[in-house]
Chains A and B, each alone.
Chain A
Amino acid sequence: DAMVIQNPRYQVTQFGKPVTLSCSQTLNHNVMYWYQQKSSQAPKLLFHYYDKDFNNEADTPDNFQSRRPNTSFCFLDIRSPGLGDAAMYLCATSRDIRELLTDTQYFGPGTRLTVL
């Protein structure tokens, strides 16, 4: 059974047209993450939520925003996508930051974003 679900799996948008990617989890984990992964590169953390507390990485562009309306759902909003934003966007969850010593991040299958 899928534990971290991302929709859609493939998203095509136009240059400058806002887009929202969705992530949901059935694990009841406290922490949800959004990563950007470009071709043949490692995932790059954009931001994460610890419960309702939002934590932005210092180098994440302002163009990227996130919302977490409840424990199960988290959204990634790209306000004005550029060609350089085309990538795989991965959502992940983990139980609790304080247990990170042996904690595990569970990844969704990703949403591949194409910007035309």
Chain B
Amino acid sequence: TQLLEQSPQFLSIQEGENLTVYCNSSSVFSSLQWYRQEPGEGPVLLVTVVTGGEVKKLKRLTFQFGDARKDSSLHITAAQPGDTGLYLCAGAGGANNLFFGTGTRLTVIP
């Protein structure tokens, strides 16, 4: 089993603050995806990173894939209440499924 550890597990911040969520593994992944899941809904894909060292930006969200393709980070600038949700990283190991991280539950307080 390829394990992905996310930190922090829970994060509560004030609107306008910045934050970073980390996704770490001892395994190498061919690609890594970040999802956001709101209560009562399924996960929604935010981004896929494929190349080691790759950085992708999605408005206020910046995603980075580690050089060795074992880790990733998600940075949110000026967090908004609408950013509240469960953030999941998921690694594709070249087999037939995704290995989901342990999740980070973010709460942005207005």
Contact = CB atoms under 8 A, between A and B. Distances in A.
Interface in B81-110: 86, 88, 90, 92, 94-98, 100-103, 105
Contacts of B50: 101-102
Given A40-B86, A40-B103, A42-B102, A97 B44 contact: no
B26 interface: no
Interface stretch (A13-21, A43-51, A70-78): A43-51
25 contacts: A4-B42, A6-B42, A31-B96, A33-B97, A40-B103, A40-B105, A42-B88, A42-B101, A43-B43, A43-B100, A55-B96, A90-B42, A90-B43, A92-B42, A100-B30, A100-B94, A100-B96, A101-B31, A101-B50, A102-B48, A102-B50, A104-B33, A104-B45, A105-B45, A107-B44
Contact of A108 (B31, B42, B101, B105): B42
A104 B92 CA distance: 10
A97 B98 CA distance: 11
A112 B103 CA distance: 19
A113 to B, nearest CB: 13
A105 B43 CA distance: 9
Nearest to B93: A100
Interface in A27-78: 31, 33, 40-45, 48, 50, 55
Given A41-B102, A43-B88, A105-B33, 9 more contacts: A41-B103, A43-B43, A45-B98, A48-B96, A100-B92, A101-B30, A101-B92, A103-B92, A106-B45
Interface residues of A, number: 28
A50 B35 CA distance: 23
Contacts of A102: 31, 48, 50
A55 B96 CA distance: 9
